Amino acid sequence: MPAMLAELGGHRWNSQLGWGASLKDHWLGAVPGFVEENASAAFRPAGEALDSGGYPVVVLTEMVELRDAIRWHDSADHLALWALRARAANPAVRVCLYETWHRLDDPAGWQSRTEADLVSLWEDEVLRPAVATAGVIHVIPGGQVMVAVAAEAEAGRIPGLSGRAGLFADAIHFNDIGAWLMAMTHFAAIYARSPLGLPAALRRADGSAATAPLPAAALAMQAVVWRVVRGYALTGVAAAE
């Protein structure tokens, strides 16, 4: 997804990844799957990257199950620590929290949990305490876009996409179409620009052609992305217009 986003925005990027790793895991340097997930040219140690001050935007996310991250991994404290570290080197940096989603087979319901947890967990338990310590952190509403697009698909309004399963490779990880959708979401939130008309055909990180949505589906999904991103105050997009 970050490679797709860079193809859209023309920017450079680096990342540090893990297997279901929390913000605390990354802070402490105890990241499951660190070697496997970061065996790419895009990898740069997160602390080194932020300490360089060379990134105008930093995107952070938390592990799911989010309730476990909050309870056992001090999510708000570590979001604040990462944001403060970024701002120590670059006071003008824009820090974003990437809101994600739960498993499709979540017993409480994928859509209902993703919608409800935006305020009760992402905002109230993670974001707001961190903002009180570290200053403004904007939200990239990935989970809300996923739910909104899935609802449109299930209503028959996105050609070639019948429902939520068409966005995922398994119960939690997105497929190429889901990655494309999240790239559009990040583009809209970071650049404060409508994604309408951006390419449907993009490439994976290895340079191969990703599975693309149908052109009509791409336009329909881009419209949903812009509606959600622009309509959610914590993206900061409406205020930037």
pLDDT tens for 102-153 read 999 999 999 999 999 999 999 999 999 999 999 999 999 999 999 999 999 9
Report the domain count for the chain: 1
For residues 90 and 195, give the distance between their C-alpha atoms in angstroms, rounded to a whole number: 28
Question: What tokens were used for 40?
Answer: 């790419």
Summarize the confidence of residues 184-199 as an average pLDDT. Answer: 98
pLDDT digits (tens, 9 = 90+) for 7-28: 999 999 999 999 999 999 999 9
| pTM, entire model | 0.98
CATH number of the domain encompassing residue 52: 3.40.50.1110
Determine phi and psi for 60, rounding to 5 degrees: -120, 150
For residues 34 and 78, give the distance between their C-alpha atoms in angstroms, rounded to a whole number: 18
Which domain covers residue 59, as residue numbers? Answer: 2-240
Residue 241 reports pLDDT greater than 90: no
Of 181, 105, 198, 193, which is closest to residue 143 (Cα–Cα)? 181
Residue 239 reports pLDDT greater than 90: no
